């Protein structure tokens, strides 16, 4: 089993920044691709960003491209999501997830991810 714990969420004004962290334990973090998803009230969980095992490849949702940056430090067993130029529509619970599946376009979907964190709330005020 892999345990994932997110941190770094909070309340921020529009235009501000936050950096989310995802601390992994229980498995070799570097063996897993990692993704970030979010879920707003009344909406389905949606893909935000994903990063390959070594960090050399990434995917982003169009809605966050150019504003968010995903990264990882396998030596620290931690993944990150840097969020800049935040908008009220970014308000959601943010989840990190890990998958052993190959890093293809499928990592933009929920299905490949076997391990999930508990989520951290991000609220962007206008």
Q: What is the pLDDT of residues 16-38, one digit of tens each?
A: 999 999 999 998 999 999 999 99
Residue 38: the pLDDT is 98
Q: What is the pLDDT of residues 109-120, one digit of tens each?
A: 999 999 999 999
Q: What is the pLDDT of residues 78-92, one digit of tens each?
A: 999 999 999 999 999
Q: What is the token pair recorded at 93?
A: 């619970």
CA distances from 114 to 14, 99, 100 (A): 33, 6, 8
Query: DSSP 3-state assignment of 106?
Result: helix
Query: DSSP 3-state assignment of 87?
Result: coil
Residue 29 near residue 94 (C-beta atoms within 8 A): no
């Amino acid at each position: 089993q892999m345990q994932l714990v997110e941190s770094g969420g909070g309340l921020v004004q529009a235009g501000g920044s936050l950096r989310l962290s995802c601390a992994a334990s229980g498995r070799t973090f570097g063996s897993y691709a990692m993704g970030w998803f979010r879920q707003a009230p009344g909406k389905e969980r949606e893909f935000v960003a994903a990063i390959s095992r070594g960090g050399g490849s990434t995917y982003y949702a169009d809605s966050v491209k150019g504003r968010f940056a995903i990264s990882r430090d396998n030596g620290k067993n931690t993944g990150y999501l840097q969020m800049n130029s935040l908008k009220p529509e970014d308000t959601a619970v943010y989840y990190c997830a890990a998958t052993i599946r190959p890093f293809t376009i499928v990592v933009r979907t929920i299905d490949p991810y076997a391990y999930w964190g508990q989520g951290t709330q991000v609220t962007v005020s206008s």
